[in-house]
């Protein structure tokens, strides 16, 4: 077996294993199985399309291989989504959620929903969780120029990846009854407190908690500063939360205050996901060093 | 970018998986205007005596394009000259899916069974 093939096998094994690690909680969530059957097919297709865009955005910042044209990026992202679909199908088979009597529509719905977190996990694992060998092989395959990794992700990319992280985290709770209960029962003052606390938490998480990927000044744009970026990420998280609530039929027939409450409560989870995702891809000192290492590898 | 055999294999499998999934969902999307339509097929030839009475297996299917929840079915039969009713609820019945159930009576019914749909909840 050539080194190149061995490296590819290692890359895909890591991507698959990482995808299953991230997707495991949702593979064991009853509400996801049910919603796979209940949600209209067009909504499932829409969610899959959004997942593809998020994976594409994430891979464009930190993908399988560093040096790629847009077409190659799009093709690699297809592989990531496909990997998610195949793994979701196999996992659901093994768990007995897809059986001989399961209709094609039912199976497709479950696979479509479960494939989303697995694809996100595969995308993250293929990059952030890469060991030294993987990084080297990536460099070799991509020509080793490391052009992408030398560049700090821009504000738009950080927010796009943040949306992906928010989608992944919020997907875990959106189909359950808890956001509905929390949102409907919370009076407006409490919701405002939750918004404030979330903003403080995510600001501290990304900029002041000194995690490994803590970003430092990355540009001169408005969104390159801590407070504006935190506010923008929260706005994105609200949009992600509302999208998920709508997708899972949570806002059908609900009043404006209930919708606002549910959205804010789910946005707490989405915001933390967005913060973690931004930390993962953030440049900063550590990211810059890592980029340099990969470029030289 | 040059791709090796592993990358090609994963790409081809991925495209196939996406095409099948999207194809099934697209076809389903076209048929989802049809409401849920639970149906029951009795398997009287497989009926048997159990410890607590007479068991009649059946299959409930949803012929519609939408799922149904809390599907309640009622089978009635004459047992010992009295009309006896057996009721069963299926918690979740996705579109185009079959669920195996069984009606039970205190003893072997005389004559044929009749089954009716009591109702179901739209998700």
Residues contacting A293, CB < 8 A, separation 6+:
A135
pLDDT band at A8 (very low <50, low <70, confident <90, very high): confident
Q: Could you tell me the residue ranges of all domains in chain A?
A: 3-150, 160-281
Residue A222: closest CA among A212, A235, A232: A232
Of B10, B21, B96, the CB nearest to A111: B21
Q: Could you tell me the residue ranges of all domains in chain B?
A: 1-31, 38-121
d(CA A142, CA B67): 47
pLDDT higher than threshold 50 for residue A31: yes
Residue A86: closest CA among A111, A122, A57: A111
Report pTM: 0.75
Nearest CA distance, B53 vs chain A (angstrom): 28
Helices A104-127 and A3-27 cross at an angle (nearest 10°) of: 120
pLDDT higher than threshold 80 for residue A132: no
| Shortest CA distance from B31: residue in chain A | A41
Nearest CA distance, B95 vs chain A (angstrom): 7
Interface residues of chain A, partner chain B, Cβ below 8 Å: 2, 4-5, 8-9, 12, 34, 37-38, 40-42, 44-45, 48, 65, 67-69, 72, 75, 78-83, 85-86, 89, 101-109, 111-112, 115, 141-142, 249
Q: What pLDDT, on the 0 to 100 scale, is given for residue A170?
A: 93
Task: Please tell me the least confidently modeled range out of A25-29, A149-153, A199-203, A239-243.
Answer: A149-153
- Mean of pLDDT over chain A: 81
Interval A204-231 mean pLDDT: 75
Q: A–B: how many Cβ contacts below 8 A?
A: 111
Q: Each residue of B50-101: pLDDT tens digit?
A: 999 999 999 999 888 788 889 999 999 999 899 999 999 999 888 878 889 9
Identify the CATH homologous superfamily for domain B38-121. Answer: Immunoglobulins (2.60.40.10)
CB contact under 8 A, B95 and A105: yes
pLDDT higher than threshold 70 for residue A134: no
CB atoms closer than 10 angstroms to residue A254: 17
3-class secondary-structure state, position B71: strand
CB atoms closer than 10 angstroms to residue B85: 11
pLDDT higher than threshold 70 for residue A144: no
Residues contacting A192, CB < 8 A, separation 6+:
none
Q: What pLDDT, on the 0 to 100 scale, is given for residue A290?
A: 37
CB contact under 8 A, A8 and B4: yes
pLDDT higher than threshold 60 for residue A214: no
Task: Please tell me the least confidently modeled range out of A231-240, A246-255, B35-44.
Answer: A246-255
**Complex prediction ipTM:** 0.77
**Could you give the percent of chain A with pLDDT greater than 90?**
39
Count CA atoms closer than 13 A to A264's CA, side-chain side: 25
- Which residue reads 């998480």 in tokens? A205
pLDDT higher than threshold 80 for residue A153: no
- Which residue reads 């560049």 in tokens? A151
């Amino acid at each position: 077996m050539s080194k190149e093939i061995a490296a590819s096998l290692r890359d895909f094994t890591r991507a698959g294993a990482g995808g299953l690690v991230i997707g495991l909680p949702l593979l064991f969530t009853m509400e996801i199985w049910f919603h796979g059957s209940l949600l209209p097919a067009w909504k499932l297709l829409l969610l899959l399309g959004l997942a593809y865009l998020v994976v594409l955005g994430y891979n464009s910042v930190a993908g399988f291989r560093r040096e790629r044209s847009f077409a190659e990026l799009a093709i690699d992202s297809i592989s990531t989504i496909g990997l998610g679909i195949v793994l979701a199908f196999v996992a659901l088979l093994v768990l007995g959620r897809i059986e001989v009597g399961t209709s094609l529509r039912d199976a497709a719905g479950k696979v479509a929903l479960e494939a989303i977190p697995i694809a996100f996990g595969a995308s993250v694992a293929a990059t952030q969780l890469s060991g030294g060998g993987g990084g080297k092989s990536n460099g070799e395959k991509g020509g080793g120029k490391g052009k992408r990794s030398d560049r700090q992700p821009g504000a738009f990319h950080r927010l796009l990846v943040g949306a992906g992280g928010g989608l992944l985290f919020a997907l875990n709770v959106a189909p359950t009854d808890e956001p509905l209960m929390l949102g409907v029962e919370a009076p407006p003052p409490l919701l405002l407190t939750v918004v404030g606390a979330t903003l403080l938490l995510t600001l501290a998480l990304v900029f002041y908690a000194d995690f490994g990927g803590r970003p430092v000044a990355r540009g001169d744009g408005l969104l390159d500063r801590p407070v504006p970026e935190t506010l923008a990420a929260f706005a994105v998280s609200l949009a992600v939360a509302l999208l998920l609530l709508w997708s899972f039929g949570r806002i059908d027939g609900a009043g404006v205050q209930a919708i606002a409450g549910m959205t804010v409560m789910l946005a707490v989870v989405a915001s933390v996901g967005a913060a973690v995702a931004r930390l993962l891809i953030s440049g900063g000192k550590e990211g810059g060093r890592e980029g340099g290492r990969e470029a030289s590898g | 970018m040059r791709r090796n055999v592993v990358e090609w294999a994963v790409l081809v499998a991925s495209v196939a998986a996406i095409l099948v999934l999207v194809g099934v969902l697209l076809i389903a999307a076209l048929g989802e205007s049809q409401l849920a339509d639970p149906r029951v097929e009795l398997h009287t030839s497989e009926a048997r005596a159990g410890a607590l009475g007479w068991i009649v297996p059946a299959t409930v299917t949803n012929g519609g394009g939408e799922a149904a929840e809390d599907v309640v079915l009622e089978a009635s039969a004459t047992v010992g000259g009295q009309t006896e009713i057996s009721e069963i609820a299926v918690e979740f019945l996705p579109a185009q899916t079959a669920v195996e159930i069984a009606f039970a009576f205190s003893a072997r019914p005389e004559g044929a069974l009749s089954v009716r749909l009591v109702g179901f909840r739209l998700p």
